[in-house]
Amino acid sequence: MIENTIQKIRSEIEDRIESFDSSKSLYEFRKDFLDNKDGKIAQLMKNMRDVPKEERPAMGKVINEVKQWAIARFDEMDKRVKAIELEKKNKAEAVDVTMPAEKNEIGALHPDTLIENELIDIFTGMGFEIYEGREIENDYYNFTALNTPKDHPARDMQDTFYVSDEFLLRTQTSAGQIHVMENKKPPIKILSPGKVFRSDDDATHSPMFSQMEGLVVDEGISVCDLQGMLNTFSERIFGEGVKTRLRPSYFPFTEPSVEVDVSCFECGGKGCKLCKGTGWIEVLGAGMVNRHVLENCGIDPDKYTGFAFGMGVERIAMLKYGINNIKTLFESDTRFAKQFKD
C-alpha cells in the first residue's frame, strides 16, 4: 500500500521535474512534496500511526529513502535551472564591444556668438557695463524718445513689425539708451547687446539680427572720446594697424551723426573685392547724443554730453569670416558653425 503511494510520488516528481525553466516555479513544485508540514512526503510519516509497531522501522527507512532521493533530485534540478537562468541573464545583459558606438557630435559656438563674446570682451575691458534691454518695446522708447516722433521721415529707415498700435518689435538696441538714462544719471557707460527686428530681407539683411549698442554720457565727452574708443575697438576686432574714419551721416538721436569706416583689413587699404576697391569698409553708425534725447531722459544737456554707437553683429561676423550671405547664419547647419574659431 505505502509502496504504491511512494511509487506514485516518485513518478509524479519525475513526470514534471524536467519541465521547469525557473528556480521559482521549481521551488513551488518542490513544496508539494518536501514541505515539512503539508508536503506529500511529510504526510506519509503521519500514516505511520496506522502501521503495526513492528513494521514501522522498515517503513520509516523506505520513507526516509524517498525523502533523500527527492531532496537530491530537486537539488540537482535546481542547480541546472539556476545555470540556465544565469546564462539567459548574461546573454540579455551582454555588451557587444564590436558594435559601432553612437556618434556624439561636438557642437561649436555660432559665429554670431563668437563675435558677440569678442565685442563684449573688448568693451567690458574698456569699462563698459552690460545692459540687456527688451525685445518688445513701445513706440516711445524705440522712436519718440529717440527724437523720432510719429510721421518723422526717419521712421522709414527702419521698416517696423508692429505688435499693436503701441507695441513693436524693437528695430534698434538704441531703445535701451532711454531706459538706461531714465534710470541712471551720468556717468553712464553701457554696452547693450540684443536682437532687433526689421521687415527687411536680402543677402545682407535678415528680419531678425543682432546689434551691439554703446552709450557713454558724462561731463565733457566729445567726438575725440568716440574716435579714440573706435580706434582701440577697430584694432582689437580687426587687427593691429586698422584705422578708422568718420563720415557725416544722419540719425535723429545723434548730432552730429557719423558713419564709421575701418581701413580694409584684407588689403591694407589698397583696394580689393572686400572693400569694393575703396580701401574702406563701413562698420557702424555713431554720433554725439542729441540734446533732445538727453532732455527726454531728464539729463541736463548743458552739463552733460555723450556719444552713442550701434553696430550689426552679423555684419561684423560676415566681414571678419568672409561670409557673403546672411542666411547661412540662420540655417542651423552645424557643419557651417564648426568652421569658425575664436
Q: In the set 74, 141, 238, 309, which binds ligand PHE (CB under 6 A)?
A: 309
Upstream peptide bond of 52 is cis (omega within 30 degrees of 0): no
- Least distance in angstroms from the C-beta of 226 to ligand PHE: 10
Rg (CA), the chain: 43
Burial 158-180 (b: 16+ CB within 10 A, else e): bebeeeeeeebbbbbbbbbbbbb
- Which residue lies nearer to ligand PHE by CB, 43 or 231? 231
Interacting span for ligand PHE (CB under 6 A) from 67-75, 235-243, 279-287, 294-302: 279-287
Identity of residue 123:
F
Question: Considering the rule CB under 6 A, would residue 254 count as an interface residue with ligand PHE?
Answer: yes
Question: Considering the rule CB under 6 A, would residue 313 count as an interface residue with ligand PHE?
Answer: no
- Least distance in angstroms from the C-beta of 169 to ligand PHE: 13
- Which residue lies nearer to ligand PHE by CB, 81 or 283? 283
Question: Considering the rule CB under 6 A, would residue 310 count as an interface residue with ligand PHE?
Answer: yes
Cell of 28: 513551488
- Which residue lies nearer to ligand PHE by CB, 138 or 174? 174
Interacting span for ligand PHE (CB under 6 A) from 22-30, 80-88, 225-233, 284-292: 284-292
Question: Considering the rule CB under 6 A, would residue 297 count as an interface residue with ligand PHE?
Answer: no
Interacting span for ligand PHE (CB under 6 A) from 12-20, 30-38, 65-73, 281-289: 281-289
Q: In the set 115, 190, 230, 286, which binds ligand PHE (CB under 6 A)?
A: 286
- Which residue lies nearer to ligand PHE by CB, 39 or 133? 133
Q: In the set 138, 147, 148, 172, which binds ligand PHE (CB under 6 A)?
A: 172
Question: Considering the rule CB under 6 A, would residue 216 count as an interface residue with ligand PHE?
Answer: no
Strands 208-218 and 254-263: unpaired
Q: How many CA atoms lie within 13 A of 311 on its CB side?
A: 27
**Rounded CA gap, 10 and 16, in Å?**
10
Burial of 229 per CB tally in 10 Å (0-12, 13-18, 19+): buried
Question: Considering the rule CB under 6 A, would residue 251 count as an interface residue with ligand PHE?
Answer: yes
Question: Considering the rule CB under 6 A, would residue 308 count as an interface residue with ligand PHE?
Answer: yes
- Least distance in angstroms from the C-beta of 176 to ligand PHE: 10
Strands 280-289 and 129-130: unpaired
Q: In the set 285, 299, 313, 319, which binds ligand PHE (CB under 6 A)?
A: 285
User: With CB under 6 A, what is the number of residues at the site for ligand PHE?
Assistant: 11
Contact residues: ligand PHE, CB under 6 A: 172, 174, 213, 251, 254, 285-287, 308-310
